[in-house]
Chains A and B, each alone.
Chain A
Amino acid sequence: MEILKVRDLFKTYGKGDNIVRALDGISFSVEKGQFLAIIGPSGSGKSTLLHILGGVDTPTSGKVYMDGQDVFAKNEEQLAIFRRRQVGLIYQFYNLIPVLNVTENITLPVLMDGRKVDKDRLQELIETLGLQGREKHLPNQLSGGQQQRVSIGRALINAPAVVLADEPTGNLDSKNSQEIVELLKLSNKKYGQTLIVITHDERIALQADRVITIEDGKITKDEVLRR
């Protein structure tokens, strides 16, 4: 089943001679439950693509269908709710709210939606992430790897259609990096979570089901490693 479909995405900055084509006609689809890695040199447009998929940035032209819905046909309000429910975002710099503790940061999307937190799911998630005993800690009391695990928890709490991760290990040492990748793989296996990870780390990319390579805003390679 196709969970994500991207058609002819263009994103340009500037005008005339100064025009920069960040995305230059990108089209692909992702099956539900797939673990996709997007690689490419810096400036190739992979972060822009991820932000557009997450609905935080808008394309100059082209369409993104998530779970059959046209993402950019939504108004701002609907888009915010879409992000809240359908997308989980993981950043290189964790981006946790510094004044909220671990539990609060993880449950933020649920609470913002005005829903009740599923205690069992939260507990399971915290255990899966290895954050037991740290529930009340503030982000600045955690190590980098722990902070990133909190942000993974936040991305997973709503069981979104897609989890998007932008260089999730870019700021971590190799041991922590591998732990994070294992967690992501686990969520992919355990919950059947669709996963799109941007990375320039070959070792991580090779653990994915499929690897797309982007250069100068175009897809230059699309290899399926395992099915």
Chain B
Amino acid sequence: MNILGTVTRRYLVKNKTRTLVTIIGIILSAAMITAVTTIISSLQAYMYNYAVYTDGDWHGCLYEVPEDQIESVLSDSQVESGAVGQIVGYSYIETDNTDKPYLYILGGDQLFFDRMPVHLTQGSLPETPDEIILPEHIYTYGGQLPEIGAQITIDVGRRVSEGYYLSQSNPLTWTFDENGEEVVDEAIEDTHPRTYTVVGYYQRPGFEDFRAPGYTALTCLDSTLDGYTAELYFKMNDPKATFDFVESQPYAGSANSDVLMFLGASRYDTFYTVLYGLGAILICLIIFGSVSLIYNAFSISVSERTRDFGLLSSIGATKKQIRHMVFSEATTVSVIGIPLGVLAGILGIGVTLHFIGGNFAALFSSGFASGMGAIELAVSWPAIIIACVLAFITVLISAWIPSKRATKITAIEAIRQSGDISIKPREVRTSPLTYRLFGLEGAIASKHFKRNRRRYRATVISLFMSVVLFISASSFCRYLTDSVMDVFMEYDYDIHFEWADDEQLTSSDSSQPSPEELTSIFTSVDEVTGYNLVSSMSCDVPVSVDIISDELAELYSGSFSADRSQLDELFSDNTVTVFGQIYGITDEYYRSYLEEHGLDTEKFMDSASPTALIVPSVSFFNRATQRQEVLQVFHEGVDSFTALIPDNQRMQEFHSSDTSDLTSEEYNRAYYACYDQLEIDIGGTVQDLPLGLNTARTDYIIILYPMSVFRQISDQFENASVSNCIYLTTNDHTAAMENLESAAEENGIHTGNFQDVRELGDMNMSLVTIIQVFSYGFIALISLISVANVFNTISTNINLRRREFAMLKSVGETSKGFNKMMNYECLLYGSKALIFGIPVAFGITYLIFRSVNSGLEVSFYLPWAAVAIAVGSVFLVVFATMMYAMRKIKKDNPIDALKSENI
């Protein structure tokens, strides 16, 4: 080894503590950078797997390729290989879904079943062209479904409309018949009977378009069929060429855009722009944080060795050799630190993903990817190499500036160390106040602080950065949690089941279950803990602007829908028509609700004279300000108003009649005649709504009645549309949902009307958890870097002043005096970092508040808890370091220290 390399290495060994802190800094920085790049590669892999799981492992597809052309497409030099889906044809099936009346039979080859997203839920894959599997979503609309092992015989043919053959990419064709009714304008022709054995059911396939008119049933490719057409799903040798290749073919086709995007072959790569952008910002922050630490360490090491550099220079070391020494120091610590850091980073992310992977799964695996596992650690070489390079660059940047300084001083300056002692009296002048408050010790400490301003600045900056990052990250998390809670946690129930009065809930025409029957079926499920049955009827309420609040009037003065302005024209200028909703709540529930709110039960339950409860203020999304706002409905003292209930039959007749020769006055009157009137007496107001209802809807006037009164009213309006909803609270929404669906199925009730609103909320909670884990983790690590930095600077500074301390000791400074001096120095560090840090953090908090507030109404608050933690930690770290460093110094024999030439 070269002699200068030996010198460097020995220095590193000699200054163990500092070398260790430097290496820890490098480990932290490399670990964090690796964590960022690895999380990106893991996310990338997860998203890719997700896309393959839902959409299939293919790049491009072509629909309707004739049998004799399949070979030529698949043997194209650009195509790697392709799966064939033989189009067997369409047949009618029994279903209540009017937009999806067919079964679409596709015969796949081996590759098709390997690559396409066919996820069995029951049974097995078809093995012969006589076996078939059906998609699970046929269930949603009921109908008589075959058991596994059952044989079905169907007439299979081609969809034809006006002489054209149609495929899955054409939705069902509709037209109007002579009576103005909508009818299907297509048929299945060229049919021939086929018999299949049902061998399984599978999850709704991602390759079936939502508008496709046929449920995709899969069988095996039947090579005995002649002249068929097929869907081809192929992989390209170069995924990037997919778009051009598909376009160059004479058949309709498409690209598997998600898979291509996650392969990085998409033309629309916003995903990567966002991901890489975010990664770049984080890495910049990390590098900034680490450079300040590692630079500091090198800078101390270099300035301690200034004399040695000068000496080497005087006996003939060239600048290049000196610079080389600094860089060989950088390389040595990197060689130890970076691999350890990369390992730590991978380990850290692995552990993190292990614990929060489930939250990722919750985020993505709803719907038809429920078979997807949790996110897993995906270590990619490019990610690690990038991390290593970035970490090494961090170290090099940190070593660069000190190395410049090391070579700039001439030998003679270095020997005299003139650079380090050039101070002017003015620079170290301290205020008399300091002297009076903290005594001589304080004044000396303050002078030190001023003299070593540059060195101390690094400490203050790193403390400052930690304070800012910590406070702003915690307020970021807090606001984020709040806003997600605000938007999604507003539901006070878990699952609802909604239907219209005239809706067919069962496939049999005979008896429809009554709302009460449904309620008793659902509440018999174990997991259900509470319920509320609500019926509702919408209405329009023409009101004078005098009785509604100014905000509501202003909201309505803008142009609303055409229908409403027709009503408005009929009335005087200062009348507007406001949306309203009349609710009927189960008597039993309503009674206890009234009691709970101290309202007169007799009065509000009295069906002889219906008395309504009104909600005084509602929240709504203001499009002008793009925010959720709260608004008062009526002025005080309004006790009745008239609601207009639309008569659907008259409304329909009016719309289909010829109105072209009516004057606008006549038109408006005829339109008004489609409504029936209802007088509503307001008996009181209540802001707290019954279970299930919330104010964040577009209805501004919310009118509450007990169910008995509501039914009495709704019966008066034969053609009013009434809808019903059962709101359920549960102790386990997922299990409840499953059991509810099976309970419904047992009773022949369609399950499509259920909605699990809690799942939505859970998904958002998962998102919040993920963000919190990552941001707090990030802050913790950045803070660690700062702590290491502070430790490094303070302990070195104290070490450098050994001689001076010895001198002070020799002239009679007491232990107490030392402590006083050190405490004052700590105070200087800490308060300086906080004086700059806290206002900046508040500024950033305000900016976060502004950006969150642009979408939601949240109040501004300062994260006092975080501030308290930050203040406490800053002083704790500074004092602890001082104590540590001083303990070593105090053991010194003053004479030895005074004599020691090299420290």
Chain A interface (Cβ within 8 Å of chain B)?
51, 54, 56-57, 76-77, 80-85, 87, 89, 91, 93, 95, 97-100, 104, 107-109, 111-113, 140, 154
- On whether the beta carbons of B7 and A95 are closer than 8 Å, the reply is no
Q: Secondary structure at chain A's binding surface: helix, strand, loop or mixed?
A: helix
CB distance from B268 to the nearest CB of A (A): 55
Residue contacts A-B, CB under 8 angstroms, 11 given: A80-B319, A80-B321, A81-B316, A89-B314, A97-B7, A97-B312, A98-B308, A98-B902, A104-B6, A112-B4, A112-B312
A93 CB contacts on chain B under 8 angstroms: 901
**Would you call B318 and A56 a contact (CB within 8 A)?**
no
Judged by a CB distance under 8 angstroms, whether B286 is at the interface is no
Interface centre among A99, A104, A107 (most CB of B within 10 A): A99
Closest residue of A by beta carbon distance from B14:
A99
Interface of B: prevailing SS: helix
Chain B residues whose C-beta falls within 8 Å of the C-beta of A108 in the assembled complex: 3, 312, 315
Q: Find out whether the CB atom of B3 lies under 8 angstroms from the CB atom of A84.
A: no
Q: A97-B311, A100-B6 are in contact. Are A80 and B11 (CB under 8 A)?
A: no
Q: Are B318 and A95 in contact (CB-based, < 8 A)?
A: no
The 6 closest A-B pairs by CB, nearest first: A84-B316, A99-B10, A111-B3, A83-B316, A56-B411, A80-B318
B311 touches A99 (CB 8 A): no
Asked if A56 meets B3 with Cβ closer than 8 Å, knowing A95-B415, A98-B902, the reply is no
What is the interface of chain B, defined by CB distance below 8 A to chain A?
2-4, 6-7, 10-11, 14, 307-308, 311-321, 410-412, 415, 901-902
Determine whether the beta carbon of A112 is less than 8 Å from that of B412. Answer: no
Cα of A57 to Cα of B3 in the assembled complex, Å: 25
CA gap between A54 and B410 in the complex, in Å: 13
Report the separation of the CA atoms of residues A154 and B312 in the bound assembly, to the nearest whole angstrom: 12
B418 to chain A, nearest CB (A): 12
A56-B901 contact, Cβ under 8 Å, with A100-B6, A100-B7, A112-B321 = no
Q: CA of A100 to CA of B901 in the docked complex: distance in angstroms?
A: 16
Output the least CB separation between A60 and chain B (Å). Answer: 14
- Is A56 within 8 A of B410, CB to CB? yes
Cβ-neighbour of B316 out of A51, A80, A100, A107 (below 8 A): A80
The answer to whether B412 and A109 touch across the interface, beta carbons within 8 angstroms, is no
The answer to whether residues A95 and B316 also contact, given A57-B410, A57-B412, A112-B3 and a CB cut-off of 8 A, is no
Smallest beta-carbon distance A169→chain B, Å: 17
CB-based contact B10/A100 at 8 Å: yes
- Cβ–Cβ < 8 Å partners of B2 in chain A: 111
Is the pair B313, A77 in contact by a Cβ cutoff of 8 Å? no
Q: Are B315 and A89 within 8 A (Cβ)? A: yes
- A-chain residues with CB within 8 Å of residue B313 when the two chains form the complex: 56, 80
Task: Specify which chain A residues have a CB less than 8 angstroms from the CB of B307 in the assembled complex.
Answer: 95
CA distance A76 to B320 in the complex (A): 10
Task: Give the nearest-CB partner of B322 in chain A.
Answer: A80
Decide: A77 near B320, CB < 8 A? Known: A56-B410, A56-B412, A99-B11: yes
Bound complex: CA of A113 vs CA of B10, how far in Å?
20
With A and B bound together, what is the CA distance between A87 and B316 in angstroms?
Answer: 9
Tell me if A154 and B412 are in contact (CB < 8 A). Answer: no
Give Cα distance in the complex from A27 to B313, angstroms: 26
Of A56, A83, A104, A107, chain B has the most CB atoms within 10 Å of the CB of A56
Q: Tell whether, in the assembled complex, residue B314 and residue A54 are in contact, meaning their CB atoms are under 8 Å apart.
A: yes
Inside 8 A of B410's CB, which chain A residues have their CB?
Answer: 56-57
State how many angstroms separate the Cβ of A106 from the closest Cβ of chain B: 11
Q: Report the Cα distance A81→B316, complex, angstroms.
A: 6
Q: Known contacts A77-B320, A108-B312; can you find 20 more A-B pairs with CB under 8 A?
A: A56-B411, A57-B412, A77-B318, A80-B313, A80-B316, A81-B316, A81-B318, A83-B316, A87-B316, A91-B415, A95-B415, A97-B312, A98-B14, A98-B902, A99-B10, A100-B3, A100-B7, A107-B3, A108-B315, A113-B316
Whether the pair B902, A80 counts as a contact (CB closer than 8 A) is no
The answer to whether A76 and B319 have CB atoms under 8 Å apart is yes
Bound CA span A111–B4, Å: 9
**Separation of A109 and B313 alpha carbons in the complex (Å):** 10
Question: Of A77, A82, A95, which is within 8 A of B311 by CB?
Answer: A95
> Which residues of A have CB within 8 Å of B415?
56, 91, 95
Q: How far is the CB of A64 from chain B (nearest CB, A)?
A: 15
Given contacts A99-B10, A104-B3, A111-B3, A51 and B412 within 8 Å (CB-CB): yes
Q: How far is the CB of A112 from chain B (nearest CB, A)?
A: 6
Q: Which residues of A contact B901 (CB under 8 A)?
A: 93
Contact in complex: B316, A154 (CB < 8 Å): no
Which of B10, B14, B308, B316 meets A112, CB within 8 Å? B316
